[in-house]
Structure 1
């Protein structure tokens, strides 16, 4: 299950933020860059998000 992809709507819900906040964090490099799944489709690997959350909680 290491290849699970988290879509923007799901990630925003999990982080309890709006999609606008998610994209703003992405532009400000506060969030790991997503991977391109298609021309207009992005997502994040679950393991990358979990590592990022750990670093936010410990830093």
Structure 2
């Protein structure tokens, strides 16, 4: 029925934090229009739909994008 939890697992479970547009803008140093333009061009990760018009990005996806730009 449900998934069993592996009590012998040694790796801690990583919780994905969702961040909204203002925090994404702050972290990447880009404006809203640039983020959305780059998303349409495939240069920036797309957000996940939260419901209605609300969207957010997975924090680890944004961190990976930043790290790829620094490399």
Common topology (TM > 0.5): yes
* Residue 49 (structure 1) aligns with: 62
TM-score by length of 2: 0.71
When Rg is computed on C-alpha atoms for both structures, the one with the higher figure is 2
Q: Does 1:9 align with 2:22?
A: yes
Structure 1 spans left out of the alignment, 5+ residues: none
Number of residue pairs aligned between Structure 1 and Structure 2: 58
* RMSD (Å) for aligned C-alpha atoms: 1.4
User: Structure 1-normalised TM-score?
Assistant: 0.82
Shift of 1:29: 0.9
CA contact (8 A) 2:18 2:56 kept: yes
Q: Which has the higher helix share?
A: 1
Aligned structure 1 segments of 4 or more residues deviating by more than 2 angstroms? none
Q: Which runs of 5+ in 2 are unaligned?
A: 1-13
